[in-house]
Amino acid sequence: MDQQPIEALKGIGEKTGKLFRKLGIETVEELLRHYPRDYDYFADPLPIGQLKENQIGAVACLLAQPAELIRVNHMQMVTAYVRDLTGVLQLSWYHMPYLRTQLKTGTPYIFRGRVVKKRGRLLMEQPEVYPPEQYAPLAHTLFPIYSQTKGLGNKAIAKAVSQALGAYQPEEDYLPASIRQKYDLEGYQDALTHIHYPKDRNQLLSARKRLVFDEFFLFLVSIRQLKEKRGEQKSSFPMEPSQEVRRLKAALPYSLTQAQERALEEVEQDLSSGLAMNRLIQGDVGSGKTIIAILALLEAAANGYQGALMVPTEVLARQHFESIQELFAQHNIPATPVLLTGSMTGKEKRLACEKVKTKEAQIIIGTHALIQEKVEYHSLALVITDEQHRFGVGQREALGEKSKDAPHVLVMSATPIPRTLAIILYGDLDISVIDQLPANRLPIKNCVVGKDYRRKAFDFIAGQVARGKQAYVICPMVEASEMIEAENVLDYTKLLQRELPGSIVTEALHGKMKGKEKNQIMERFAAGEIQVLVSTTVIEVGVNVPNATVIMIENAERFGLAQLHQLRGRVGRGNDQSYCIMVNGSEDQDTNKRLDILNHSNDGFHIAAEDLKLRGPGDLFGVRQSGEMEFKLADIYTDANLLKAVSQEVDLLLDEDPELEGEECLALRARMDRYLKDQFDKLNL
């Protein structure tokens, strides 16, 4: 059942199936792995005086007087008042006129909803109404909240998940029994049920622990096996340091930092060692990794080979291509770059592929179009992937396999992962760290503010745009949710279009858009046609706009520190002073402490280390997952200790049984085959 299309579930037809596909859910298995992003906890009812503003609460009361039906701006609204010894609460419902006759004075009810304050009064908007006997079995339960899309609400997704769990036929648990016992891990099917419908917080934590263990385990087994497969491979592409690289380096309008020089030297030693290079360059945003990549690509071309650079977005690929083309033309470098992306026309792709096949182009820049079957390389000696954590194991291997012999592999990441974790996550790679920023970079000015600062922030953004600059505004959600109180891109874009001067072009960008539409928006922003871009974290990687000087991050408390630092790195790329405004929607002291670290430091590695210290096992849903390696649940900061434990278990297992041939590993081997197939299927290979 789990491999069947989503339409196999009762009540899901073609129309609803399309909505699920918008969320990236095509099969029943993918639905089961569409884990909740939060949980709605049904707490005991409180006295009115103890209700907290901007939080969901419940009160047990009698109606003080009959409900009234009034009209507000052509809308029908039912209002009622409840009171107890601690205060008075107004209740309001829109578009539900029938409630006026259904709600009876003198009858006990439990009203549950979000509490807001308007004109100094507490108000509960659109509360759900329960007779006390209906609410009693719900008390202290956790109800899942899923990522949703327009037309597909939380209740519909929860209903589909519940049906899928009932029809799920579990395979044999692939984690060896000895490991499950050692770490007190529940069975996979139980974990799957309990992550969606936990009885209580302890059951939720137990389920999450098992599923996080699985994500780390499958990833690390595949990485270690990849390392074993590569081993110390002899290189078929030996390279000598070239005059062209020295000439271009000397002609640059700036000097490389000591850290850049060290990284370049390590790359050059690898290329000339006679063994295939497998190296990671880890450097903070703006530390100058790209020029190292360009010099390495030129080294390959000067030695008579081809080099490929794969980046996560088409806009970034085009920017890299244009800057390399301009740099080579300016300094008469005899190497030809070519661009290859998915949105190119058939004719453009054919021409580009012909240049690659005949070696008319020595440097190939593109997105994952570089690993499609039709692309044939003449002599691919060097493979570079940028923003490594955006590419899974399948992509890492597929690009390497485009070469007839083992190519040199260089991967780059701006994600500041502490070294202890980087060694585990990038276990198949040697690591170079660029831990200095170029001297001409102005530090970004940071501030953490409350929601009441928004008006000033809008004025500040308008002032920067008046000076010819641009701004990003980041929201944690794409669209409004009945369950989660957080700013969303679609409503915020409309708000800014109203609040900012009419001459300022404000547009939205988010991950649910089609690829072509996203590219057009990013290109228009990069070209300066859009002045303010309201976006989700989709802009975390993928576009370089030196003219952008402000980033305003709404609900900053919902993001991890390392991710906030990544987002902040979208500005500060030009010569002008740049600013990061973090709007904190929480009054929690621990949240304030976390954000204060970012407020006083621009050092990504320091921030990552602090993030590691501050994130405990209880910090699961208040902060967005870090998104590394495309883990769905696992977070390398929150789950750092579990990651280290899994790493040790994988080492022990593969030391004893490198090919997973033992009886205890038969189910694991089958699961690994499926895991790797999934990785490749994502690439449409």
Query: CA-CA distance, 132 to 229, in Å (whole number)?
Result: 63
DSSP per-residue string spanning 562-626:
HHHHHHHTTS--SSS--EEEEE-----HHHHHHHHHHHT---HHHHHHHHHHH--TT-SSSS---
3-state helix, strand, coil in the chain (%, to 5): 45, 20, 40
Neighbouring C-beta atoms of residue 641, cutoff 10 Å: 10
CATH 3.40.50.300 is the classification of domain 445-601+603-633: yes
What does the block give as tokens for 70? 């009034």
Strands 306-310, 380-386: pairing is: parallel
Regions of the chain short of the pLDDT cut 50: 391, 617-628, 683-685
In contact, 4 and 12? CB cutoff 8 Å: no
> Could you tell me the residue ranges of all domains in the chain?
43-139, 177-230+639-685, 232-434, 445-601+603-633
The answer to whether the CB of 289 falls within 8 A of the CB of 250 is no
* Contact status, residue 634 vs residue 210, Cβ threshold 8 Å: no
- DSSP letter, residue 409: E
Burial bucket for residue 365 (CB in 10 Å: 0-12, 13-18, 19+): buried
Name the E strands within 34-103: 38-41, 56-62, 68-72, 75-84, 87-94
Q: How far apart are CA 346 and CA 331, in angstroms?
A: 32
Q: CA-to-CA distance for 645 and 648, rounded, in angstroms? A: 5
Confidence at residue 680, expressed as pLDDT on a 0 to 100 scale: 59
Residue with token string 């497998």: 278
Cα of 408 vs its chain's centroid, Å: 28
CB atoms within 10 A of CB 674: 15
Q: Give the pLDDT confidence score for residue 617 in this predicted structure.
A: 47
DSSP state of 176: -
Q: What is the pLDDT of residue 626?
A: 45
SS3 per-residue string spanning 525-557:
HHCCCCCEEEECHHHHCCCCCCCEEEEEECCHH
Q: Radius of gyration (Cα) for the chain, nearest Å?
A: 27
Burial annotation 443-455 (CB, 10 A radius, 16+ → b, else e): ebebebeeeebbe
Nearest to 579 by CA among 476, 440, 473, 452: 473
Strand order in the sheet with 408-413: 337-340, 363-366, 306-310, 380-386, 408-413, 278-283, 430-434
396-426, pLDDT tens digit by residue? 566 666 666 778 989 888 877 777 888 888 8
Separate counts of helices (H) and strands (E) for the chain = 23, 21
- Looking at residue 112, its pLDDT comes to 95
Give the global pTM.
0.77
In the prediction, which pLDDT does 344 show? Answer: 87
Q: Say which CATH class 232-434 falls into.
A: alpha beta
Using an 8 Å Cβ cutoff, are 278 and 429 in contact?
yes
Quick one: pLDDT at residue 586?
A: 75
Residue 344's identity, in one-letter code, is M
Pairing of strands 408-413, 278-283: parallel
* Residues ≥6 apart with Cβ < 8 Å to 34: 23, 25, 146, 147, 157, 161
- How far apart CA 88 and CA 59 sit, in angstroms, is 11
Task: Indicate if 232-434 has the same CATH topology as 43-139.
Answer: no
Cβ contacts of 161 within 8 Å, gap of 6 or more: 31, 32, 34, 144, 146, 196
Single out the residue of 285, 339, 357, 313 nearest to residue 564, CA to CA: 285
Helix 289-302 with 258-271: angle, nearest 10 deg: 30
Sort strands 56-62 and 108-118 into parallel, antiparallel or unpaired.
antiparallel
Rounded distance, CA 117 to CA 129, Å?
A: 20
Cα–Cα separations (whole angstroms), residue 29 to 165, 192, 222, 624, 667: 10, 11, 21, 23, 18
- Domain 43-139 class? mainly beta
The Cα–Cα gap between 155 and 159 comes to: 6
CB-based contact 303:242 (threshold 8 Å): yes
Write out pLDDT tens, residues 622-646: 444 444 456 888 888 788 899 999 9
CB 172 within 8 A of CB 667: yes
Residue 616 CB coordination number (10 Å)? 9
Closest CA to 61 of 103, 119, 96, 102: 103
SS3 (DSSP) at 446: strand
Cα–Cα distance measured from residue 392 to residue 685, given in angstroms and rounded to the nearest whole number: 14
Closest listed residue to residue 10, CA positions, set 155, 153, 152, 163: 163
Using CA atoms, how far apart are residues 465 and 467, in angstroms rounded to an integer? 5
